[in-house]
Chains A and B, each alone.
Chain A
Amino acid sequence: MAIKPNIVFLTGYRIYVVVFFLFLAAPLVGAGMFAFNDSTFPSLPWRGFTLDWFFNDTEPKLGMFHDRRLMRGLYYSFVIASCVSMLSVFVGTCNAFLFVRYKFPAKDFLYIVMVVPLVIPGVILGISILLVASTIANGAEATLSLELDFLRPGIVLVVLGQFSFITTITSLVIIARLKKFDLSLEEAAFNLGASQVRVLRTITLPFLFPAIAAAGIVAFLVSFENFNTTLFLVGSEAPLTITMYDRMVKVGSTPVLNAVSFFLMVGSALLALVSVLVQRSKPLT
């Protein structure tokens, strides 16, 4: 501890920190707790504990696991997030090697270009990709009478739209770890007669693995919860956030949405825990 401020100040400071964390937790508690209230409205009074909003299979208390549209949304979210995660980790790893290991013209400028997608509003990314994809698809249809269905709003565009900014996140995570790599480890392996591919496979990639796994998990979560970019690119295969938003706007809030929220919170917390454990673990030797 650097300074020894007086006790009153420190107590006040601690109270502020506690209040701040209560503020952080408040809406999560609000969204989660009504998943277990035995009532058709997500509001007080408390009418007793129930798991119906998860498992019940009849209206009016249709549980989330029997709600086909929500389950379809969950499935599409999962497919989209897996694709985005794999693609963005692959490109992020390439970017890490590119920016850490190589020298090329305009490197500093291109590094900033790599970071820019993170600060472009998600709405703008969504509409700009929608515009260009539709223009190309319309052009192909008019001049070549070619149907380029994948350029119409749908899963492919959603994946591309999310990938466009999530790759920046994965790149930054993997770059940070590759920078800490001790190059003499690779040199030693070369001196012992290992080939380039073998060194990559047995030395460098295992060292990078925690960062790659963590980047993959972060990409998965960010994709799963993305709304702004997805909103403009979505077709008939709506992911979960879009389905939930639709339900909120059209039907109003029902406790089944609380059940989904609770389910997602637990899922994300588990994944986040895995990413922390992976990053903490020593790389395989």
Chain B
Amino acid sequence: MQKDIRRLSLLLLFAPFALWITLLIVLPHLGMLHISLREKVAPRVYEFGFGNYLNFFNEPIYWNTLLRTGSMSLLVTLLALILGFPIAYYIAKIAGRRARGALFLMCLIPLWVSDLIRAFGWILLLRETGVISSSLQWAGVINAPIEFLYNDATVIMGLVYTVILFMIVPLVSTLDGMDDAMIEAGYNLGGNGPTVLRRIIIPYAMPGIVSGCIVVFMLTAGSYLTPILLGGKNSSWFTEQIYDQFITRYNWEAGAAFGFVLLAFTSLVVWGGLKLTGQTLSTTVARS
């Protein structure tokens, strides 16, 4: 009797999970795979084939965009790690008890406004008639307005801004769990600052670092608004190509294939990163 009730409640709890994952994640992705593998031979007539994928590899502009998106996303991930690590370390280890909570909350503030508003804010600051350009002119540093928008450096800066919180949060929670005695022991054994950082702190923080890097990389490669708004028409971000195929050209087959290429490419990079650092998904992102 008791056992039956337990089985029943397990089934009842499993049902929402199963419905969610099957109907909204697995089925749509299988459907997308199916559509990406068909070619239009005549109106409303389709044939199975790899044409959409071949088309991707035969057209340099497509895979160049993907490579560009990938390499810029890696750069953004690296920058977010280098810039975010000191902040996370400060919050977890150096700040006093009360400052810690406040600083952590301040880190989260940009998270509560949408990508769109953050990009809008940057535009108002950086454009030719924007705050920075006109302030510099007013101060006499420059004579003519400068356009800070629509170049790669600005896109990278905007992306780092958008994703750096997702680097800091896992780092703070890993570093928080680290015993200060480990660092002291490192110094007592004669290590200097860089040695302690390299041999003790970074290895300990590795799960947090990898977890942050995975999330940041995926978010960057899949981002759409920031590269378009800050980079303008020539930002050539891969998600833009997908949008273009879907909405502008109404070529769903090619769009689906592009979507899969992006998914495969980012998964491959994440898999490579995990292998390289000797971590797994369950020790990093799915850690609890």
The chain A residues found within 8 Å of chain B, CB to CB, are 1-3, 5, 13, 16-17, 20-21, 23-32, 34, 41-45, 90-91, 94-95, 97-98, 102, 104, 108, 110-125, 127-129, 131-132, 135, 160-161, 163-164, 167, 172, 175-176, 179, 196, 221, 224-228, 231-232, 241, 244-245, 248, 253, 257-258, 261, 264-265, 268-269, 271-272, 276
Q: Is the CB of B263 within 8 A of A104?
A: no
Q: Which residues of B contact A225 (CB under 8 A)?
A: 112-117
Q: Is the CB of B93 within 8 A of A2?
A: yes
Q: Give the Cβ gap from A35 to chain B, nearest Cβ, in Å.
A: 11
Q: Provided the pairs A17-B87, A122-B222, A127-B32 are in contact, do residues A94 and B121 lie with their beta carbons within 8 angstroms?
A: no
Assess whether B242 is interfacial by the CB under 8 Å rule: yes
**Residue in B35, B214, B224, B281 whose beta carbon sits within 8 Å of that of A228 in the complex:** B224
Q: Is the CB of B24 within 8 A of A3?
A: no
**Residue in A26, A114, A128, A258 whose beta carbon sits within 8 Å of that of B32 in the complex:** A128
Q: Provided the pairs A21-B106, A225-B115, A228-B223 are in contact, do residues A121 and B125 lie with their beta carbons within 8 angstroms?
A: no
Among A2, A125, A160, the one with the most B-chain Cβ atoms within 10 Å of its Cβ is A2
Kindly list 14 other residue pairs between chains A and B, CB separation below 8 angstroms, not including A30-B124, A119-B285, A272-B105. A3-B183, A3-B196, A17-B103, A24-B110, A102-B10, A108-B282, A120-B25, A121-B219, A123-B224, A124-B222, A127-B246, A128-B256, A227-B116, A245-B116
Q: Which residues of A contact B125 (CB under 8 A)?
A: 26-27, 30
Assess whether B268 is interfacial by the CB under 8 Å rule: no
Give 17 A-B contacts (CB < 8 Å), ordered by A residue. A1-B180, A17-B86, A31-B120, A104-B10, A110-B17, A116-B25, A117-B25, A120-B222, A123-B222, A123-B242, A127-B32, A135-B35, A164-B20, A225-B117, A241-B116, A245-B225, A257-B120
**Chain B positions 156-198 with a Cβ under 8 Å from a chain A Cβ:** 161, 180, 183-184, 187, 193, 196
CA distance A25 to B113 in the complex (A): 12
Q: Which residues of B contact A224 (CB under 8 A)?
A: 114
CA distance A225 to B119 in the complex (A): 13
Q: For B218, give the chain A residue with the smallest CB separation.
A: A119
Assess whether B65 is interfacial by the CB under 8 Å rule: no
CA distance A111 to B14 in the complex (A): 12
CA distance A224 to B120 in the complex (A): 17
Q: Is the CB of B214 within 8 A of A269?
A: no
Q: Is the CB of B115 within 8 A of A129?
A: no
Q: Provided the pairs A127-B255, A245-B116 are in contact, do residues A253 and B161 lie with their beta carbons within 8 angstroms?
A: no
Q: Give the Cβ gap from A113 to chain B, nearest Cβ, in Å.
A: 6
Assess whether B42 is interfacial by the CB under 8 Å rule: no
CA distance A122 to B220 in the complex (A): 11
CA distance A160 to B122 in the complex (A): 31
Assess whether B148 is interfacial by the CB under 8 Å rule: no
Q: Is the CB of A131 within 8 A of B262?
A: no
Assess whether B248 is interfacial by the CB under 8 Å rule: no
**Residue in B10, B17, B120 whose beta carbon sits within 8 Å of that of A261 in the complex:** B120
Q: Is the CB of B86 within 8 A of A97?
A: no
Q: Give the Cβ gap from B243 to chain A, nearest Cβ, in Å.
A: 7
Q: Which residues of A contact B130 (CB under 8 A)?
A: 43
CA distance A175 to B288 in the complex (A): 9
Interface string of B25-52 (1 = CB under 8 A from A): 1011101100100000000000000000
Q: Is the CB of B31 within 8 A of A102?
A: no
Q: Provided the pairs A115-B281, A241-B116 are in contact, do residues A121 and B218 lie with their beta carbons within 8 angstroms?
A: yes
Q: Which residues of A contact B112 (CB under 8 A)?
A: 221, 225, 265, 268-269, 271-272
